[in-house]
Structures are given as structure tokens and as C-alpha cells.
Copies of this chain bind each other. A is one copy, B any other.
């Protein structure tokens, strides 16, 4: 392989070299790898011989994919102990125009494995409706996938304890949180836990919450952009000295500073439609926890 191209003379030499290399990869049955996994498959097949520096690159890429994804070409080159142009040449062997395109394989791989998106990959689907459905399923899976090692089990346990002690639980949530609160209220009721679903029928939400007392608790659910009446309702409960626990999707929720305990549950969306899968799972676990604790 020659990187040189001096004139029409060099141009014809380069074409010959490109054809030679092109034939070599095509003859081996490989096309331009579209994913990190495909790239790894080619590299590990053992059928591609690399000269010294390119081999060095291959080893580095294999062993340090996150550095490759996150660094600039200059940084990666330095870490790998080669020149930036060597990285470009490496990428071009695989049919990429330059290193940045090639680096996208590593970025996509990293994104796909990160909790935000884990499970989001589903097969492409020619039917538009099915495509959307798969996307929605993926978003739901991604949301559930965030419930992992970093889940704040300590706050969760404390929420369970607090709610278990409450005389009456006011369940508050609007708009997108409302399906979650209706399910919470239903399951709490079915389990014999006294609760009030604050549903604002007849615009009476403020009046309902106006009856909350010190021995009661609020279980609030709220998602960004936090522009429902839920913050106002919770503020009333706060003034009346009720205990407050909140499920919300970021620290910026106005409910956070009103709450004794809060728990972060983030939902993914697909094309603007939001999952509720994780919130519902957490909600059910809360209800179950409260019941378990009260029957100890």
C-alpha cells in the first residue's frame, strides 16, 4: 500500500496499489465493517497481515477502545506511539475516508453499551409501525436497564420506611406521571394501604392536599419539564409539615428541595414518546416494600 501520489504517474501506481489492496480484502470476503463488532471480527480473523506500525495500531485499538472513542486523533496517535497519518492509513484500509469516520465505530459501540441506551438496539424494520414499536420497546428496555448497580437502594429503603409509617399516603402526579400514580394508588388500595389519589377532578387537588397532616405522607411523581401543578401541590404539603418522598428524573426538579427523600428514575423516549416502564417497576417495588414492612 502506497500513500504516495505525485502526479498522473503516481496516480496510476496508486490505483494499482489500491486495487491490489482492495482485492486482497474483497478476496477475503470482507466488506467495510459497519460496527465495532464487525471490525473486531476482521482483526481477530488472523487473515490480515499488518506491517509494523499498523499492527501497533491494531493492538492499541483492540486493547483501548474507550481511549479511541474519546480521544482526538492526535491523542490516540500519541498513546499508540504512531503518527496521526498512520491512523488515517489504517482507517483507509477498511474503506473509511479518514480516521474520524472510523472512530465513529468506537463511539457508537460505547454509546450503545452505556446505561442510557442499553437495550435500545433492535433490528431495523421495513414496516413503519413495527419500526416505531421496536423503538418504543427499546426505549422501555433502556429505561429498565438504568436500574442497575448505581441504583440508590439506600434512599429507596428509607422511602419504604417513611411511607410505611404514614397514616395516609397522598399520591400526587400529573400529565405523564398520572398513569404511574393511578397504578400506585390502585395497588396500594388493593394491598390495604390507605391512600388518596390526588387527581384534580373538579379542580379540587389543592383542597385535597389542604387536608394533609403531619402524620401523613406524600408520594409524588414528577418528570421534566416539571411544569404541572404537582410542585404547587407538594409545596402545600410541605407547609403543612407532611413527610414527602418523590420519584423524579433529575436533581433539577422543584420537588427535590421540598422532599425528605427523593429517588431518580430516568425514562428514555423514542421519537418524543416517553417510556414509563422503569417508574412503574420502581413504584410497584415501593408498594410491595411498604406492605412487607407493615406486616413485619
Chain A residues near B (Cβ < 8 Å): 40, 43-44, 46, 50, 55, 58-59, 62-67, 69-70, 107, 110-111, 114, 116-117, 121-122, 127-130, 132-134, 136-137, 139-141, 144, 147, 149, 151, 153, 156-157, 160, 175-176, 178-180, 182-183, 186-187, 201, 224, 249-252, 256-257, 266, 270-271, 273, 275-278, 280-282, 284-285, 287-289, 292
Contacts and interface: CB of A to CB of B under 8 A. Distances in A.
Q: Shortest 3 CB-CB distances between A and B: which pairs?
A: A179-B179, A44-B251, A133-B285
Given A70-B69, A282-B133, A287-B273, A62 B127 contact: no
B271 A67 contact: no
Given A46-B251, A63-B249, A129 B110 contact: no
A292 B128 contact: yes
Contacts of A136: 281-282, 284-285, 288
A107 B114 CA distance: 13
B133 A137 contact: no
Given A44-B251, A66-B117, A179-B179, 15 more contacts: A40-B251, A58-B252, A66-B111, A66-B114, A67-B111, A69-B70, A70-B110, A110-B110, A129-B288, A133-B281, A134-B147, A137-B278, A140-B281, A277-B277, A280-B280
